[in-house]
């Protein structure tokens, strides 16, 4: 079936990365799972805010360094190759993302 298979290089970055916003690209999605690439270049969750999603999320950092903090007080410093599972409805925040090199994540929401 023409156009069914898609092939790209995960590590080829957009020509310009915004200093203000992360870059999100959905790689696959259906009713059960969404897989996306996220590129962070210095962004973090605004002070006083928490992220909370209705679906489980598994993320792996493929490049860069980052710190994730959970409302429970637990904190994870992530480097290339590290991954974390975030259960649905778990309040968390991104405290830090490196910009040189930028962070390249793969996220699976289910």
The per-residue b/e assignment along 39-66, b for 16 or more CB within 10 angstroms, e otherwise, is bbbbbbeeeeeeeeeeeebebebbbbeb
**What is the rounded end-to-end Cα distance, in angstroms, of the chain?**
27
Predicted local confidence at residue 15, as pLDDT? 80
Predicted local confidence at residue 1, as pLDDT? 45
| pLDDT one digit per residue (tens) for the chain, 110 residues | 455 677 789 998 888 776 778 999 999 999 999 999 999 999 999 999 999 999 999 999 999 999 999 999 999 999 999 999 999 999 999 999 999 999 999 999 99
Taking the domains of the chain in order of start, what are their residue ranges? 23-109
Q: Which CATH class is domain 23-109?
A: mainly beta
């Amino acid at each position: 079936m023409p156009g069914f298979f898609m092939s790209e290089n995960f590590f080829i970055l957009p020509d310009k990365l915004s200093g203000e916003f992360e870059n999100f690209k959905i790689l696959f999605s259906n009713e059960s799972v969404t897989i996306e690439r996220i590129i962070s270049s210095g962004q973090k969750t605004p002070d006083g805010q928490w992220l909370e999603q209705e679906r489980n999320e598994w993320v792996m950092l493929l490049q860069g360094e980052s710190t994730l903090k959970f409302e429970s007080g637990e904190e994870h410093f992530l480097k290339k190759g590290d991954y974390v599972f975030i259960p649905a409805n778990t309040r968390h925040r991104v405290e830090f993302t490196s910009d040189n090199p930028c962070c390249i994540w793969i996220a699976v929401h289910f």
